[in-house]
Chain A
Amino acid sequence: MTPERSAKNVIDLIRFSLNTLFQNPLIAYPFVIIAFIQLFVLEIFYFAPRYPLSIFFGPLIRTLYGEGYLHYPYNFILLPKMFQYAQIFIYIFISSFLIAVSVATIEYINNDKKVTFGMMVKKMLPQYVHICLASIFMFMAIFGFLKLYGLAYDRASLIQSTSGKFYLIKRLVMEGASYITVLIQILVTTIFAYVITLIAIEKRKVFSALWKNFRYLRTTFFFIFSMVLIPTLFYLPVLVLRDNMPILGNGMFPSLRGWVIVLSILVLTAIDSIIYTAVTSFYLLKQEHR
């Protein structure tokens, strides 16, 4: 299953990962479940202001955000926010585990072993706590970088220049928030690229996996960064669409915001499946060459 050509070619590796996913749908299956869970949660939040879910969510939304967000079309302002918070929990407790299942599946298929989804879930269960801890560390890293960006943003807002390089820096920092956030996510995914692979395949505990991850990254950082960056570029059109959606009352149907989130889920799940398949394939190739 592992690529025959040199692993120095990122594009070849990504292409190989795509082929692997199509030829072995069992690898993609955990990502399908991730997308399903996210879409289901999104659906629940979409119906949260409406009967019968409003019986439970109504008082919560009223207390935390205000009465207005229980009504059309202002519920669509709240929907992305609520979903973003839920995604954190989904990723830590469910998605990261399912990614590990997918990674382990790749290893089994690579070794020509018989594999089923249920079997891989059982095999990964003992590693569940370590996988969750690893994803918590990833989120802490993302928050850390976002905090730093926040400081940079505050500093940029003080720039008085209306032309020249400082003005350009100001515009870049202040208007590029969405893109910088995606860049931070790419960076953190790169920094923690091997962790889930090491926990899933080598059955390492989280700190041991982190340590080995950073050792591997020392020599492969830019390669892995490219491997994460290139598939993520396919998310840019969704980002542009999201950022340029007119504000409510400016001609676009408010429910379009919900559909953009659906598109984001589908695109990001596909991107994640390619990235983790590529990283795992690269890891397995390195192991074979040792």
Chain B
Amino acid sequence: MKKSVLVMLGILVGVFLLFSLLDRNGEYGAEQLMWLTTHRLQEFSHDPKSVPDQAFDALEKNFEAIIKRDPQSELALQAYLSIGRIYLVKRSYGIARQKIEEGLNRYPQRPDFCALALSFIGRTYELEEDLPQALRIYKRLVNEYPQTPVGLEMPLYIGQIYEREGAQAKAQTTYSQAIDHYRQLADEHPDSDLEIRSLRMLANTYIGLQKWQEAVDTLGEVLIKSGPNQYLDSSQVNLILRSINTISIVELKNYTVPKKIYKEYIRRHPQDGLSRVIKELIKGLNVLEKNSVKIQDKKIP
């Protein structure tokens, strides 16, 4: 019996060692190293001045090891950005940009990564309070990588920078350009994920400008066009529905606008599961509308 217990232990240890060896060069090991190293970097970022340089160097070596393991993997791209983050934490912005530019030159065929890298470089200029350079980079990002997730957010972000700096006229111009940019992207890529993302950014721009009617109309367009195509996940759909309701009721004080959007959705997608939810929403809006009329009708003594 003792022998069989030892055999069982041996099997457990043997299987563990065998599978660990078979996957020693696999992605899992790199993911583990990535997570642990990123975690340490986050800890260091709380008080970077108290962390010795050797500790940062060790992190950089780990990220370089990940890149060396498989230079074409997604992890390698993340590792480049993480190396940049090390120097960001150390406030060595010039070196951070240098490291990121190495990645930019190495992976010109990866637009999502290049957009993130440019966004990172722009951020370092912002931290150095060199806004002209930051804006130059962001505008380059919009021109070269307009369809990436980061590139899509940039036109709105540039307007927000101008607004933050008190340059209202430039901010308004930038917002108008952003509106045209998003509308053009949406029109050029119908029935696609890009169309939906562009329209969502357009809605966000209108919300930033407090153009409530346009915002609600655009959100309605997003909802109806995304429909059963599954461009949106359930949390995004919930957010859009809440936004439509809140803006319509609180800002526009109009219950007809959202009901019109929802009825159009049901008309276009009668069999969609969301239509059932939207029917309940319409009922809820009817009740709210009735109650709000009652409150308005009450005379104030």
By beta carbon, the residue of chain B nearest A53 is B19
Residues of A near B27 (CB, < 8 A) are 71
Interface size class, chain A: 20 to 34
Asked if residues B15 and A51 are in contact (CB atoms below 8 Å), the reply is: no
Asked if residues A50 and B16 are in contact (CB atoms below 8 Å), the reply is: no
Asked if residues A50 and B23 are in contact (CB atoms below 8 Å), the reply is: yes
Instruction: Check: A237 CB closer than 8 A to any chain B CB.
Output: no
Interface size class, chain B: 10 to 19
Q: Contacts A32-B8, A49-B28 given: A72-B35 contact, CB under 8 Å?
A: yes
Q: Mask for B10-37, Cβ within 8 A of A = 1, else 0?
A: 0110011001001100111001101110
Residues of B near A126 (CB, < 8 A) are none
Asked if residues B19 and A50 are in contact (CB atoms below 8 Å), the reply is: yes
- Rounded to whole Å, the gap between the CB of A212 and the closest CB of chain B is 32
User: Of residues 52 to 100 in A, which have CB atoms within 8 Å of B's CB atoms?
Assistant: 52-53, 71-73
Asked if residues A40 and B15 are in contact (CB atoms below 8 Å), the reply is: yes
When chains A and B are docked, how far (Å) is the Cα of A33 from the Cα of B11?
12
Q: Contacts A32-B5, A254-B35 given: A50-B26 contact, CB under 8 Å?
A: yes
By beta carbon, the residue of chain A nearest B12 is A39
Asked if residues A51 and B35 are in contact (CB atoms below 8 Å), the reply is: no
Residues of A near B8 (CB, < 8 A) are 32-33, 36
By beta carbon, the residue of chain A nearest B2 is A25
Asked if residues A52 and B1 are in contact (CB atoms below 8 Å), the reply is: no
Asked if residues A36 and B1 are in contact (CB atoms below 8 Å), the reply is: no
Asked if residues A72 and B12 are in contact (CB atoms below 8 Å), the reply is: no
By beta carbon, the residue of chain B nearest A254 is B35
Q: Contacts A71-B31, A73-B35, A254-B35 given: A47-B1 contact, CB under 8 Å?
A: no
Residues of A near B34 (CB, < 8 A) are 72
When chains A and B are docked, how far (Å) is the Cα of A52 from the Cα of B39?
28
By beta carbon, the residue of chain B nearest A250 is B39
When chains A and B are docked, how far (Å) is the Cα of A206 from the Cα of B11?
35
- Rounded to whole Å, the gap between the CB of A214 and the closest CB of chain B is 36
Q: Contacts A50-B19, A50-B28, A72-B31 given: A43-B1 contact, CB under 8 Å?
A: no
Residues of A near B1 (CB, < 8 A) are 25-26, 29, 117
Asked if residues B16 and A43 are in contact (CB atoms below 8 Å), the reply is: yes
When chains A and B are docked, how far (Å) is the Cα of A39 from the Cα of B11?
11
- Going nearest first, the 4 A-B pairs with the smallest beta carbon separation are A72-B31, A50-B23, A47-B19, A36-B8
Q: A26-B1, A52-B22 are in contact. List 16 more A-B contacts (CB 8 A).
A: A33-B8, A39-B12, A40-B11, A43-B15, A43-B16, A43-B19, A47-B23, A49-B28, A50-B28, A51-B23, A51-B26, A71-B31, A72-B34, A72-B35, A249-B39, A254-B35
Selected A-B contacts with CB under 8 Å, 18 pairs: A26-B1, A32-B8, A40-B15, A47-B23, A50-B23, A50-B26, A50-B28, A51-B22, A51-B26, A52-B19, A52-B22, A52-B23, A71-B28, A72-B28, A72-B31, A72-B32, A73-B32, A249-B39
